[in-house]
Each structure stands twice: as C-alpha cells, then as structure tokens.
A and B are shown apart, each in its own frame.
Chain A
Amino acid sequence: DSGVTQTPKHLITATGQRVTLRCSPRSGDLSVYWYQQSLDQGLQFLIHYYNGEERAKGNILERFSAQQFPDLHSELNLSSLELGDSALYFCASSVDTGVYNEQFFGPGTRLTVL
C-alpha cells in the first residue's frame, strides 16, 4: 500500500459526459502528479501540482482540468468525454518537487467511456 488513495476504482460513463477523479496523497506529501495510461501505452504525464499551485503541464487536453485543494487532495476533471479517453488514470504523490523525490502511485481509476 503506497498510501495514495484514488476514488473511484472504476468508472463507466457515456460519451459527452463529465467525470471527476479524486486523489488523496500520502500524508505529508505536497506534490501531486496525474498520469494517463491508455491501452498498450506508457504512463503519459498530464499535470503536476505542488501545494495547491500548478507546476507543470504535460499532454493534457483542454477538456481536462485539475486542481489541488488546501487539504492537498487533488481532483482531475474530464469533460466532453470521448471513446479515446478510456484509460487508467494514476495519481502519484511526492514529498516535494524535484525528480529525486520518489513518486508514490495510487492504484488508479479505470475509466471506460461507452
């Protein structure tokens, strides 16, 4: 158990809908990262938050947005969903910023768009 929790574990929805994925980092971790893993793909970096502020953006679509709240949990909002958005979405947390700080991953949320 990494200490990072993600809810829900599974989500099935229809095209055009909007969903919210939630992540609670390990106690004491200030950084939260979101990744997307599509079928047969590696983990694609989406976005990084540190202590409530956005620090870096990766290949995140404009239909997607994220935020980190004062209690440090984070939410990833996906809107106008398309079939191609079906994927595993992972959240990771680390103590601080910096690549030397190990990222601890949650178990992921599997999103299926029908």
Chain B
Amino acid sequence: DQQVKQNSPSLSVQEGRISILNCDYTNSMFDYFLWYKKYPAEGPTFLISISSIKDKNEDGRFTVFLNKSAKHLSLHIVPSQPGDSAVYFCAASSTTSGTYKYIFGTGTRLKVLA
C-alpha cells in the first residue's frame, strides 16, 4: 500500500522555466512533509519541508504548496537550473505517531535542459 505517491517518474523542463513536481498521500495522519533531492551515487539531501498548519513554504527558488483537503503537495522550482537535475523524493510523516519515520514516494527524475 503506497501511502505516498509520485505519479510522474520523470519530468523535463527548459532552463529558466518553472518545474512542478507533484506528490499525493493517502494517510490523513500525515502532518509533516518533506522534499529530498538525490544525485547519482549520493544519498538523498533535505531540500524543504512543510507542516500541515501551513499551506506554503518558500526557500529561495524552492516553494512547497500543501493542499490538505486534496491530500496533495507540490514542489515548485523557479527558475529551474541545470544543476537541479536530480531525483526528487516526497516524504511524509506523522508527528503524533511516535515512530518518527518518513514514508517516501518513488521519486520523480527531473531533467533541466540547457
């Protein structure tokens, strides 16, 4: 049972344009969400997070939007740069479950074309 879904395995975007990566979740207990970025031969690195008390969080070129009613979040990268080419994982967690574990999606491979 995939509780966190990233339905687009890959995405190609022109340099300078906006990249939008999507993520859906099914568990209504999730109240903390994260995006991790992964380059080949490296471990994932934290990018940005959002708590369910907010619907938007911004960090430089990266913005995460959360739609709780739709159980959907998205990551916007503006403007996209070739160095952003990586696999992006969405993750979710419950602050009340007591287990502190992240549930990850399957990832979206972003390719930014120069």
Contacts and interface: CB of A to CB of B under 8 A. Distances in A.
Do A and B share a complex?
A: yes
Interface of A: 2, 4, 31, 33, 35, 40-45, 48, 55-56, 58, 90, 92, 97-108
Contacts of B98: 56
A40 B89 CA distance: 12
Nearest to A40: B106
Contacts of A101: 100
A17 to B, nearest CB: 25
Nearest to B106: A42
Nearest to A43: B104
Contacts of A33: 101
Contacts, number: 66
A4 to B, nearest CB: 7
Contact of B102 (A55, A99, A107, A108): A99
Contacts of A103: 46, 102
A99 B106 contact: no
Given A40-B106, A42-B107, A43-B89, A55 B43 contact: no
A41 B102 contact: no
A33 B101 CA distance: 8
A43 B32 contact: no
Contacts of B105: 42
Given A42-B4, A43-B89, A98 B41 contact: no
Closest 3 CB pairs of A and B: A105-B43, A42-B104, A56-B99
22 contacts: A31-B100, A33-B101, A42-B4, A42-B89, A42-B105, A43-B89, A43-B91, A43-B104, A45-B103, A48-B101, A56-B101, A58-B101, A92-B43, A98-B100, A99-B93, A99-B95, A99-B100, A99-B102, A101-B100, A104-B45, A105-B43, A105-B45
